[in-house]
Amino acid sequence: MKSIIILCMLLFGTFSLSAQEIYSNDVSCIDYDGNVAKIHASGLAEKKKEVYDNALKSIFNALFVNGINGINEGKPFLSKENKYYLEQFFNSRYHLFVRNHTEEGKPEKLSSGMYKGVVMAEVLVSALIKDMVRNKVMVKPLENVSMEETQEKIPLPSIMVVPYKRNTNMSYASILSTDFDLRMAVSAVDNGFKQLHVNTISVETRADMAQRTMDWEANNADSNDKQLLLNSGADVYVIVDLKKDISAVGSRVSLIMSARETATGRTLASRSGWTNRFKTSELDRLCAYATEDVLDGFLKDISMEFAKKLTKGNTVALRIGLSDTSINTLNDRVGGGNVSIASLIRNWVRKNSQEGRYHIQGSVAESLIFDTVQIPTHDADGILMDASVFADNLAFYLDEQGIPCSIRIDGNTIYVTID
């Protein structure tokens, strides 16, 4: 009989033999809405009455072990086998996750004596994921991680809301003082974030402080605003643009929002959409309606990107330079060896970044620029890691190598000056 089964496997498709069951890989997803999936599957059995059960079991075996295109990016749900969970599941629980199914025709008897059957099943995929998470055989997917759960492990981002710049010669402050519409839109989005209990940083307040405390260059508004963002302490800045449609039949607005990581400029989320028409032309009310429509989902997108930091780490920028009085270059050897200062720093970053993830933007004798470095969210003792701790660790290492330096941190950008 074993040789007959193997022959059927070759003729009918690829199968897995597990606990004396025959699981088919002839499984395909027809439709999936993020909750329920319609899945077409074949089954094979020695007994006619077992064919359709095997077809249903094949669906779950494919989800667990092989993956199904169209669900979970085609990746299997389980990264390693959990025998206890799988035995319990296939023995008595799999039918709990099948909302309904239809058998397509009667089982067909093959020349081998085996029976083949086909089903179309509606599978409760979201319920299955919750069951696997609850039984600790699967890590909760990032899209299902709430902001509260993320906040238990890493701090949620602080956000600065800024106006869209159509003219780089205008600063954020000048746009807000001259463009009433954008000012109202920025205010509405900022208030919306506050209502969702998100820490926001006022761009106007920071701009006023910068004007009083910094020597800003004349006629260089774009450069000044970039420096403002880096010095703001905001992890994320949200760019807001506004479109209006005012007519006799009613008024509506559209908010176009893009969230970017301050340290790297990487886009985290983007949303836009028109409100319904209202019998009002009051811009503050229209903007409030718009934020109600899109802000919760927009924040969830940002939150999901930050949840990725639990496995991928935080992103910082690292810039190494020389002081005016330094007698060294980054190409100089240290400690009597053949390793340059730049090589020492690169090796240290490689070993101390999350899974060695970093990117060098440029390297010359006078400077070394890492535009992105993924640092772990926690250190070896489980304590939160941030840019300050990472910078202190690097400074301590350089001091041990006889390379004195000073550290300055602006947001998530680390400046190391070698003396």
Per the CB < 8 A criterion, the answer to whether 391 and 407 are in contact is yes
How far apart are the C-alpha atoms of 14 and 82, rounded to whole Å? Answer: 22
Q: Is 338 exposed, middle or buried (0-12, 13-18, 19+ CB in 10 A)?
A: exposed
The reported pLDDT for the residue numbered 8 is 46
Give Cα separations from 371 to 249, 350, 360, 363 (angstroms): 50, 14, 6, 11
How far apart are the C-alpha atoms of 146 and 310, rounded to whole Å? Answer: 13
> HSE-up of 176 (CA within 13 Å, CB side)?
20
Structure tokens at 73: 């990016």
Between β-strands 159-163 and 236-247, what pairing exists: parallel, antiparallel or unpaired? parallel
The reported pLDDT for the residue numbered 18 is 42
Three-class DSSP category at 47: coil
Q: In 3-state terms, the chain is what percent helix, strand and coil (to 5)? A: 40, 30, 30
User: Of the candidates 342, 391, 346, which has an alpha carbon nearest to the alpha carbon of residue 364?
Assistant: 342
pTM: 0.55
| pLDDT string in tens for the chain (419-residue length) | 444 444 444 344 444 434 346 788 899 999 998 899 999 999 988 888 899 999 999 999 999 988 999 998 898 998 777 888 988 999 989 999 999 999 988 888 888 888 999 999 999 999 999 899 888 888 777 666 666 666 666 666 788 999 998 887 888 888 888 888 888 888 888 888 888 778 888 888 777 776 655 544 444 566 677 777 777 778 889 999 988 888 888 888 888 989 988 877 778 889 888 888 888 778 888 888 888 888 878 887 887 777 776 667 778 889 998 888 877 788 888 766 678 888 999 999 999 988 888 888 888 888 899 988 888 877 777 777 778 889 999 999 999 888 888 998 876 788 999 88
Cα angle, residue 385 at apex, residues 382 and 387 outer, rounded to 5°: 175
Residue matched to tokens 């990487």: 266
Structure tokens at 29: 């997803």
The amino acid at residue 201 is: I
